[in-house]
Amino acid sequence: MRTKFIFVFCLCSFMGLALAQQRTSETDPRFKRFLTQYPKADKNKDGILTAAEWRAYQAETIGPNSTQPNRTGARIQKTLIHKPDKAEFAKFIEMGKNSAQRGPLSFEKGNGLRIVMTGHSWVAPGRNKLLEIAGAAGYAGHRQRVHGGGGSTGAANAIWLKEFGKWNEDTPPAPILLPAIATGEWDVMTWGCYYDDLPEYYTQWIDFCLENNPEMRFYIQDGWPRHLPSYKEKHPDEVMASLEADHKNLQKTIGKLLYTSLEEKYPGKVHMIPAGEAVMKMIRLYHEGKLPEFDCIDEDRGRAGKRGIYRDGGHLSRTSGIEQLAGYVYFGMLYRKSPETIADYAPEGIPERVDRIMRRVAWEAIVESPYAGIADENQDGLAD
């Protein structure tokens, strides 16, 4: 009986392996979708995408111009710089006008800001929470139009390339922001910084924006350090030292270098949104035992049922309400006033004390940042 069981188990395992190796666009819905999206992956051009062909195609895309993770897990941006001429601009602006994507292309000026936004998943909390916060502050005319993406596909250069259909040969153009900006009815543009960003990734956007919206202002959200899996084995003081060192490096490479270059070309026009410093302030408060409402820094993808700063070592927690912090930083930067000035507003699911702390921390991060361009010397919660 034992011999028979082993034989059956091995036979099933072999059959499973064979079936896995035979997955094609004819037998697997995912491969059918891959073939539609990436026809070049079909190497022998027989109209059928096999698992081997898909693996080979993926391997080819891992390189200097790839958005795939490399073997160390680092993300690599696409480095292509695309400089369209006037005819190409006109073509894609017109194409975008004829699409029904993302709502109206323009809005009349009201009592709020009209913002075109890009960004990846680390930008999403601030972008999403800002809508509610601006409304609570009385800015009924606040508007947002978004073209985002995940990871490197949400970087400033990636969105630019996607608007013109230059991201890759298999992805059609998505002119979502170009036709809106061309209307001349927008006040602000925002991005989220990404690994190996170059000033050129932003200047291409800024030049086009200023050509059509001369009074526009520009904001780049910075990042915060990751809470690495190896930190589980470290003493909390060692973890804090590592986080502080990584944060300092981020501020130096992303904040100072990027900001300095853009400030030189566009004096007073470009500022950094210091979400990273706000997050670090909350981490410091937790480390000092001043945030009893939080159980940890990292929730480890919710496995421990905790309330932390991060949910997965990088993205902000959705359980603890910390995403609201990013929204407050955006509000403070864009509207140039402290979120502490917003009356009669209690965000759902967030303890009142934690909400007060996050509002204060957001404004502190802003006025202390050398790259935010906001001071509040008389401490009235309004930019001087």
Average pLDDT score over residue span 117-136? 96
pLDDT single digits (tens) 48-64: 988 777 766 655 543 33
The DSSP symbol for 336 reads: -
Task: Give dist(CA 271, CA 263) in Å, integer.
Answer: 8
**Residue 384 and residue 378 in contact, taking contact as beta carbons nearer than 8 Å:** yes
Give Cβ neighbours of residue 55 (< 8 Å, ≥ 6 apart).
none
Could you tell me which of 213, 330, 203, 211 has the C-alpha nearest to residue 270? 203
Could you tell me which of 147, 158, 191 has the C-alpha nearest to residue 77? 158
The helix-helix angle for 124-136 and 323-335 (nearest 10°) equals 60
Percent helix / strand / coil, the chain, rounded to 5: 45, 10, 45
Residue 69 has pLDDT above 60, yes or no: no
pTM: 0.80
Task: Give dist(CA 57, CA 181) in Å, integer.
Answer: 36
Tokens, residue 49: 């995408």
CB burial string 325-357: b at 16+ within 10 A, e below: bbbbbbbbbbbebbbeebeeeebeebeeebbeb
pLDDT single digits (tens) 219-263: 999 999 999 999 989 999 999 999 999 999 888 877 777 899 999
Residue 102 has pLDDT above 80, yes or no: no
User: DSSP string of 110-169?
Assistant: -SS-EEEE---TTTHHHHHHHHHHHHHTT-TT-EEEE---SGGGGSHHHHHHHHTT-S-T
**Residue 144 and residue 173 in contact, taking contact as beta carbons nearer than 8 Å:** no
Considering only 22-26, 52-56, 165-169, 363-367, which range has the smallest mean pLDDT?
52-56
Average pLDDT score over residue span 84-102? 85
- Beta strand residue intervals within the chain, DSSP E: 114-117, 143-146, 188-192, 217-221, 270-273
Residue 332 has pLDDT above 70, yes or no: yes
Task: Give dist(CA 255, CA 276) in Å, integer.
Answer: 10
**Residue 255 and residue 193 in contact, taking contact as beta carbons nearer than 8 Å:** no
Could you tell me which of 304, 39, 61 has the C-alpha nearest to residue 31? 39
pLDDT at 11: 35
**Residue 174 and residue 162 in contact, taking contact as beta carbons nearer than 8 Å:** yes
The C-alpha angle 234, 235, 239, rounded to 5 degrees, equals: 70
Task: Give dist(CA 160, CA 163) in Å, integer.
Answer: 5
Q: Which domains does the chain have, with CATH numbers?
A: 23-61 (no CATH), 86-368 (3.40.50.1110)
Q: CA 313, 319, 324, 329: dihedral to nearest 10 degrees? A: -10
Considering only 33-37, 126-130, 132-136, 281-285, which range has the smallest mean pLDDT?
33-37
Task: Give dist(CA 82, CA 187) in Å, integer.
Answer: 25
Which of 47-56, 91-100, 284-293 shows the highest mean pLDDT? 284-293
Task: Tell me if residue 68 falls in helix, strand or coil.
Answer: coil
The C-alpha angle 314, 318, 322, rounded to 5 degrees, equals: 75
Considering only 21-35, 67-81, 87-101, which range has the smallest mean pLDDT?
67-81
- Rounded to 5 degrees, φ, ψ at 298 are -125, 130
Could you tell me which of 94, 179, 195 has the C-alpha nearest to residue 145? 179
Q: How far are the Cα atoms of 198, 220, 252, 281 from residue 248, in angstroms, in the given order?
A: 19, 17, 6, 13
Considering only 68-82, 203-217, 284-298, 361-375, which range has the smallest mean pLDDT?
68-82
